Every structure is written in C-alpha cells, then in structure tokens.
Amino acid sequence: MTTRAHCAPQAQASPVGGASWMTLLLATACGLIVANLYYAQPLIGPIGHALGLSPQAAGLIVTLIQAGYGAGLLLIVPLGDIIENRRLICSLLAASALALAGAALAGHAGVFLLAAVCIGLSSVAAQVLVPFAAHLAPEHARGRVVGNVMSGLMLGIMLARPAASLVTDLWGWHAIFAGSAVGMALLALVLMRLLPDRRPAPAVRYGALLVSMWQLLCSQPVLRRRAAYQACMFGAFSLFWTTVPLWLAGPEFGLSQKGIALFALAGVAGAVAAPIAGRQADRGRGRGMTMLAMLLAAGAFVLGQAGTPGSPVALAALTTAAIVLDFGVAANLVVGQRAIFALGAAYRSRLNGLFMAIFFTGGAVASAVGAWAFAHGGWTLTSWIGFGLPAMAGLYFATEPRPAGALPR
C-alpha cells in the first residue's frame, strides 16, 4: 500500500500568505519555543553545582533535553496530520509551561532531569507550527512564509544561549526557566485566541501513522536527500557552537562568559538568510541556494582559521565565520523544508518530523565529535572536520538527478 493511500484530503485553513501579522506571530512563537532547548547548555555548571550533580552527570541535563526533543519529533509531531493543530500546539505549550516551572522550582537532581525530558518533548510544538504555517500559505508564497517563520526559529536558537547566560548573571539560573514558563503560558493563551482552526481528516490511527513514516522515508527520495544535506549542515553548525566557546575561553583569547555571549550575538545576523532563501526557492532557484549555502558553510571553517590565535584579526575572522556559517545553515534549512512540504499536504507533519529528527541526530553526533576533536587536536582539527561536513553534503548534492524539464527544488 502506498503512503498516499493512508492519507485522505484535509480540511485546509484559510491562506494567510499576505497577513504579515500572522507570519510574525508564528515566527515569534517558534523562536520562543525552540529557545527552551538551549537555555540549559551554558548553565550546566551552575545547575549541576546547585543540584549536587558531578561534572559527568551534569552532562545529562543537555542530553535528556535533546533525547526528549528527538522522541517528540518522531512520536508527537506526526499528530499534526490527524489532530486539530491549534489544540495540539496549545496543549504542548501548556505542558512546556509546567515542565519549565518544574525545572525552575527543582531542588533535587531527579526532579530537574525529569523536567528536562519533558521540556524537550513539549518543545516540539515549534515543529507543529512550521508545517501549520506552510498550510496557511498559498503555493506561490510558501517559501517566503516558511522562511520568515524559520528566521524566528533560528533567532530563538541563536539568542537562547547568550540570553540564558546574561539572565543567570543577573538573577540566577532559576530565573530563565521561571520566566520562560510564564512566557509559554501566555503564548498558549495568545495562540488559542488568534490561530485559525485546522482540522485534518483523521485518515489513519496513531499506530498506522507511525508505520506510514517509514513508508514515507522509503518512498520519498527528496526527503532522504534533503534530510542528509541538512544533517551535515546542522552538524557543522552544532560542532562550531559546541567548540568555539571553548576556543574563545582558552588562553589564546581569554574571553569571559559575557564576552562569549556577545560573540554569540554576532551569529544572529545569519538568520536573515531564512527569508531570502525562501523567496529564492519560490522563484525556482532552490538548487542554486542549496549549493551556495554549502559553499558558505565550508568556507566559514576556512575563514575561522585566519590570523594568529588570540589576535584581533583572528577574533574578527571567527566572528565573520559565525555569521557566514549561520547564514548557510539557515538558507539550506528553508530550501529543504520548502522542498519536502511540496511532497504532499496530507502528511506535512510527518515529513517535518522525519526531516527534523534526522538532521537533529546529525547535530548531536557532530557535537560529540567536535568535543573529542577539540580535546585531541584543538581548533585546527575541529575546523577541518567542520569543513568536511558541508563538503560531503556538496558532493552528495552534485549527484542529485535533475529530470529534464523539472523545476529546481
């Protein structure tokens, strides 16, 4: 039985491609939600110390958040194809608010680690919102709308770490989780009031829904390729942002945590790539944007080795490399999502869950490899591994067949 046989036509919400306020709302919501995944990363030390965790066990904080998110991508995001989307999104936000409040109030390591898993699980609300935005957008503007929404998501990823560091410096680590808990509760109320209904036809049961995801992966080469490209690209992104704080805090640069937070803010400029890439994909230039994105990501790691370590030239080169890398990763992400969302409206949530789970795994593996590489070969070895990831994606992209007369993807 083909995948399409499992999917009945869906009730569509009214297109809002011209409603800039709705796009802004969805982008803001995605950014606020996804930031919850990254608040804990720069705070492992103070959280572990407060809860009595050893340095080794403290690493579980980030691992469990990521594990929860990965499970949610595969087990919760696909529900967007069979459950009314507004209700699903707001339910996840309510769960997120409770999990964040639990983290803020935790006085025992076990309670915090359980909250960490739940934070990851509930944060997949952002990945229900992205295909929701694609459903709302008319075909001719889908890339632009998805790009604008993804720019908000990328800003959330990039701003979360410096925001967590600065808030913790002022009020302690509990404050960032407490503040976000309040934010998620308020966001749930806003979205419940402002989002339109979208009621998919419940064509399959939950078990069959999960089985159909494997069928989608096997039957959709565009999904497999785009997920592989972005796994390499997001791997490069994760490797860079895992190791560059270690490099900047080392004896060569000697930056403080505030200095590293300010450096991280520079990468925010790369988020402008998302709407640009979306518009180019709408105009049939997705292939060109894909190759440009991979070249930029690879070139960023070459640029990041310029100058004598610790010199102003080296710091400027690293800052520029961060912007260029983030630009390339964001551009490739948006072009990839536009391509997979074009495969079928009836299973966009499943497509997005698979796509995100695959490239998120690539990022997690690359983070671990980056930490090992930095410990054994310093920034030079780390940079060349980072260079190799988008380079491999580019080589694979060069083998992509392009049928005669087909529009660029």
Decide if 17-203 and 205-401 have a common fold.
yes
Give the pLDDT confidence score for residue 202 in this predicted structure.
65
Structure confidence at residue 3 as a pLDDT band (50, 70, 90): very low
pLDDT tens readout for residues 259-315 = 877 887 877 777 777 677 777 777 777 888 899 999 999 999 999 999 888 899 999
Number of other CB atoms surrounding residue 324 within 10 Å = 23
- Tell which residue, 123, 132, 149, 160, has the closest CA to residue 21: 149
Over the Cα atoms of the chain, what is R_g? Answer: 21
In contact, 389 and 325? CB cutoff 8 Å: no
Q: What are phi and psi of 245, to 5 degrees?
A: -60, -35
Which are the contacts of 150, defined by CB distance < 8 A and separation ≥ 6?
27, 30, 130, 274, 278, 330, 333, 334, 337
* Higher per-residue confidence, 41 vs 50: 50
Given the candidates 3.30.1440.10, 1.20.1250.20, 1.10.10.10, 3.10.180.10, the CATH classification of the domain at 205-401 is: 1.20.1250.20
Structure confidence at residue 17 as a pLDDT band (50, 70, 90): very low
Q: Which of 92-106, 157-171, 232-246, 341-355 has the highest mean pLDDT?
A: 92-106
Q: Where are the domains of the chain?
A: 17-203, 205-401
Whether 163 has a pLDDT exceeding 80, the answer reads: yes
The position carrying tokens 């010199």 is: 311
pLDDT tens readout for residues 386-401 = 999 999 999 999 998 8
- Indicate the class that CATH gives domain 17-203: mainly alpha
pLDDT tens readout for residues 331-344 = 898 889 888 988 88
- Identify the three-state secondary structure at position 36: coil
